Structure 1
Amino acid sequence: MTAPRYQGVFPVVPTTFREDGSLDLASQKRCVDFMIDAGSHGLAILANFSEQFLIADDERELLTRTVLEHVAGRVPVIVTTTHFSTKVCAERSRRAQDMGAAMVMVMPPYHGATFRVGEPQVHAFYAGVSDAISIPIMVQDAPAAGTPMSAAFLARMAQEIEHLSYFKIETAGAASKLRELIRLGGDAIEGPWDGEEAITLIPDLDAGATGAMTGGGYPDGIRQIMDPYVAGKRDEAIAQYTRWLPLINYENRQAGFLAAKALMLEGGVIDCDLPRSPWPAMHPEVRKGLLETARRLDPLVLRWGR
């Protein structure tokens, strides 16, 4: 593989709301500052863990501009621009690039539970987005899209589509898929990345992953796994992975995308951790278990705003 432009820990920035559901941009900026202070190599915005499916188009523009201007080049920012329409996705991606995005992340085109297209249309979709921009595209290969994409198909797109070179693999058997993607794609695969809140981080790193897009609540904890691994200290990385795994598991299997905001509220980073309706708020017992698990690890998030 070629030397990647972007690697390391790029957690997803949650979108912060007030109790009435309106955007809270002051909390949003503090959230970004915390995540940078906690050691994030870069950030990702407007992803599924940012509740992108609950955000209006004009709010997407406002959030993108607000975050990129506030980050002010401190770290690279990946902007999610997923849409079913090639035209809309290309236009979103071009605007994100114009505002300073380092990369765009795009799921294959889908809508609801049944609207899908085949491989020729998926290929044409990503080619159309690539033609509109000059920054890298990350393919988000996630079950939410309901669009199976083989390692061979992903590798072919990387070889044939100019700016498509990063892959966030979140499907079952991610490590095997990453390994096969790297084998088939060669130098066209600039960034094979781990996802799913780092629940499979060590196997994915063993398979050749160079980046991790996790939840935003404890980048310092993920760095404690990634840094020794990259330095060739695999045993130390495994020990840290074992240490942080209960919290990773709690986020991945219990609290979901609300975990980061619950941790940030507890640590005084943000003012409200509610999602937007109709998504339900976190159950009090889930919150209790999440915070109990986090306190045993003392992540920066619980101290940053206090």
Structure 2
Amino acid sequence: MTINWKGVYPAVTTKFTENDTLDLALFKKNIDAQLEAGVDGIILGGTLGEASTLTEEEKSTLVRTTVAHVAGKVPVIINIAEQTTKGAIAAAAKAKEDGASGLMLLPPMRYAATDYETVAYFAEIAKSTDLPIMIYNNPVDYKTLVTLDMFEELTQYENIQAVKESTRDLSNVTRMKNRFGDRFQILSGVDTLALESLAMGADGWVAGLVCAFPRETVTIFQLAKAGRMEEALAIYRWFLPLLELDINAQLVQNIKLAEVAVGLGSETVRAPRLPLIGTERKRVLKVIEDSLASRPALPEVEVYQ
């Protein structure tokens, strides 16, 4: 499957049962809500989420289950975050075997690779597979900045096609567009900068709170691309307190609480994560409850392709 790398790509949460096994029935219920809202792809194994707690067998199960469930309606992307080039190449091969449509690729984990080493890492993985690749550029959380000069070196690999832009520097969208035109599709990776990034020319949105609010997320994107920015902004301003739950160390717990509130998930997380307690739990629940009480009606909008 070719990937358009445009639109809304949910970084979906992993659902667990009370017995700490994958809750595939609940997982598929959430996927159905995403598809019904009109998302453009599904991303599995978000590194700031619970991917690091999953076994290789569980990752494979999630990919295979999602691929079978979406039945070709949208691409299924799996995240790769490995410590070695060898491990990343093996993960890419397994992703293809399991039916994934593409990869979201981070720089090497733990080791602080140089620019030269990071480019070589990306290049070796790209050469090992024909799956489309989106580079995840998040120096805030992972301490490695993929610079424009590094992207210049990666232009020779045709299957490196997109970037999840999480530098928190809005002007980086413009810098990428000025230097590379449409060579790389740019997807905003920070919920609280999504509309701003779309206004700067970003092609899509890798979203977090979409897990609980898929229709609102898709509507904001479609309105922005239709040039109906005032309408998009009105919904976005309502959404912002919820979106801020994604830029938090407990983002998984926060998003799962929101999923519970709308009937699209459970609060169950995998240890060492634990459900929120005390004052913080009350704070997050109030944000969710206040937002649901003022949830806006959504306008009709033509689908942007």
Same fold judged by TM-score > 0.5? yes
Residue pair 2:241, 2:287 contacting (<8 A) in 1 also: no
Q: Which residue of 2 aligns with 1:125?
A: 121
Q: Look up the match of 2:292.
A: 295
Where does residue 22 of structure 2 map in the other structure?
23
In the superposition, the TM-score normalised over structure 2's length comes to: 0.87
| Letter of the structure 1 residue corresponding to residue 70 of structure 2 | V
CA distance in 1, matches of 2:157, 2:92: 15
Q: Report the Cα distance in structure 1 between the residues aligned to 2:261 and 2:239, rounded to whole angstroms.
A: 19
1:212 to 194, 205, 208: 205
1:124-158: per-residue Cα shift (whole Å, max 9, x none)? 1111111122121111111222112223322x144
Which whole-Å CA distance do the structure 2 matches of 1:299 and 1:30 have between them?
23
Matches within 5 A, 1:1-306: 5-111=4-110, 115-142=111-138, 143-154=140-151, 156-173=152-169, 175-189=170-184, 191-196=185-190, 198-215=191-208, 216-253=211-248, 256-270=251-265, 272-283=266-277, 284-298=281-295
State the 1:20 CA deviation: 3.0
C-alpha distance in 1 between matches for 2:145 and 2:56: 27
Aligned residue type for 1:119: D
Report the Cα distance in structure 2 between the residues aligned to 1:61 and 1:266, rounded to whole angstroms.
29
Tell me the residue number matched to 2:301: none
Alpha-carbon deviation of 1:48? 2.3
> Number of matched residues?
289
In structure 2, what is the Cα distance between the partners aligned to 1:36 and 1:223? 11
Give the percent of matched residue pairs that are identical in Structure 1 and Structure 2.
Answer: 25
Aligned residues of 1:167 and 1:192 also touching (Cα < 8 A): yes
Structure 1: unaligned runs, 5 residues or longer: 301-306
RMSD after superposition: 2.1
**SS across alignment from 2:219:** helix
The answer as to whether partners of 1:158 and 1:165 remain within 8 angstroms in 2 is no
SS in 2 for 1:160: coil
- Other-structure match for 1:303: none
TM-score (norm 1): 0.87
Distance 2:182 2:218 in 1: 26
Return the alpha-carbon distance in structure 2 between the equivalents of residues 66 and 12 of structure 1: 16
Q: 2:47 and 2:287 mapped to 1: Cα distance?
A: 20
Q: Once the two structures are superposed, what CA deviation does each residue of 1:223-265 show, in whole Å capped at 9, x if it has no partner?
A: 2211111112222222222222222123434851223322222
C-alpha offsets along residues 243-289 of structure 1, whole Å, 9 cap, x if unaligned?
2222212343485122332222233333x322111113123314422
Aligned to 1:110, what secondary structure does the other structure show? coil
- For structure 2, the 5+ residue unaligned runs are 298-305
Change in Cα spacing, 1:187 to 1:37, as seen in structure 2 (3 Å) is closer
Three-state SS of the structure 1 residue aligned to 2:207 is coil
SS in 1 for 2:276: coil
Decide whether aligned partners of structure 1 residues 46 and 254 sit closer, same or farther in structure 2, where only a CA change above 3 A counts: closer
Would the alpha carbon gap of residues 99 and 299 (structure 1) be closer, same or farther in structure 2, given more than 3 Å must change?
farther
Going from structure 1 to structure 2, the CA distance change for 1:88 and 1:253 (only over 3 Å counts) comes to: closer
Shift of 1:97: 2.3
